[in-house]
Amino acid sequence: MMHSPLQLSRQYPQKRAFITGAASGLGEALALQLASEGWQIGITDINEADLQKVAAKISQKGGKPLVYIFDVSDHIEYAHVADDFLEKAGGIDILFNNAGVGDGGKLGEYSLENWAWMIGINQMGVIYGCHYFVPAMKAQKSGCIISTASAAAIANAPQMGAYNVTKAAVLSLSETLKTELYEDNIKVCCVMPWFFKTNIIQHARGSEKTKRMGQKSIEEATLSADEVAQIILREAGKGKFHIIITRQAKRMWWIKRLFPSYFFKIIRKFVLKKEQELERDLAKENKAGLSVLEKNK
């Protein structure tokens, strides 16, 4: 599926975007698709080596990269970065609050330190981005805020409490800003995808079981980061607020609203199925490992 973000380019002819979490996955895909339209793009991440590679790709495609290596949970550093980008770019047209980490664990078992880490990146990073860039958008009387939440914002699976809370917060903030910034001509979009091929759990700190379940769901996903980026840019260009991606996510969205009791049964069934699949995989791996040991005796 080929798609150009031309509609957004027409709406924002100065073509200035700021993307967090741009060293790989969805952030990289968004940056490269905008680069092909000649956008000036502030790209951020904590992975300097990969971010520099993305910067080179942006330049090759005709875009202009501005590289920032920092952690979005650091509000002091974020303030310096935002000021620098606004000065060099002369303003901002699209803010992509995309940086995020995936992880999970049961309440009481998932440490408070991990909770703080998750909230700092997934939730506060989005708040900081809005806090530092919205004043410039208000002064311009134009702009667009696109924040990456997740289907987890509406489908709160067990053992994913910290992640669910942060993604629900992104949805809540987006809904608040939708009306709060309407008179300033600032558009707001909240992206809620189901699993797609990305590396969001690369920094996971939770249990090995949770990591394995998450990785398996990602590996089984059919959509790539490039395809998700295409959908986001197309729907954002249309001015759509809720950008819900994949049939599974849309199904969850409607079932929760129309049949809430049934919805929770579906969630329990889904998680139980994933746990059973993981147990079978682990059993196969253990059996294979024992066979190797027997052969090597």
Say what the pLDDT of residue 168 is.
96
What's the pLDDT tens digit per position in 69-87? 999 999 999 999 999 999 9
1 — pLDDT class (breaks 50, 70, 90): very low
Say what the pLDDT of residue 62 is.
97
Q: With pLDDT > 70 as the criterion, what percentage of the chain qualifies? A: 81
Kindly report the pTM of this predicted structure: 0.83
What's the token pair of residue 1?
């599926």
Say what the pLDDT of residue 3 is.
47
pLDDT at 63 over 90: yes
Say what the pLDDT of residue 26 is.
94
Q: Compare 295 and 97 and report the one with higher pLDDT.
A: 97
What's the pLDDT tens digit per position in 209-246? 666 555 555 555 568 889 999 999 999 999 999 999 98
What's the pLDDT tens digit per position in 116-174? 999 999 999 999 999 999 999 999 999 999 999 998 898 888 888 999 999 999 999 99
pLDDT at 202 over 60: no
Say what the pLDDT of residue 213 is.
57
Say what the pLDDT of residue 49 is.
96
What's the pLDDT tens digit per position in 38-59? 999 999 999 999 999 999 999 9
Say what the pLDDT of residue 204 is.
55
Under CATH, which number does the domain 6-248 receive? 3.40.50.720
Which three-class secondary structure string do you get for 24-85? CHHHHHHHHHHHCCCCEEEEEECCHHHHHHHHHHHHHCCCEEEEEECCCCCHHHHHHHHHHH
Say what the pLDDT of residue 255 is.
85
pLDDT at 10 over 70: yes
**Other residues' Cβ atoms within 10 Å of the Cβ of residue 52:** 16
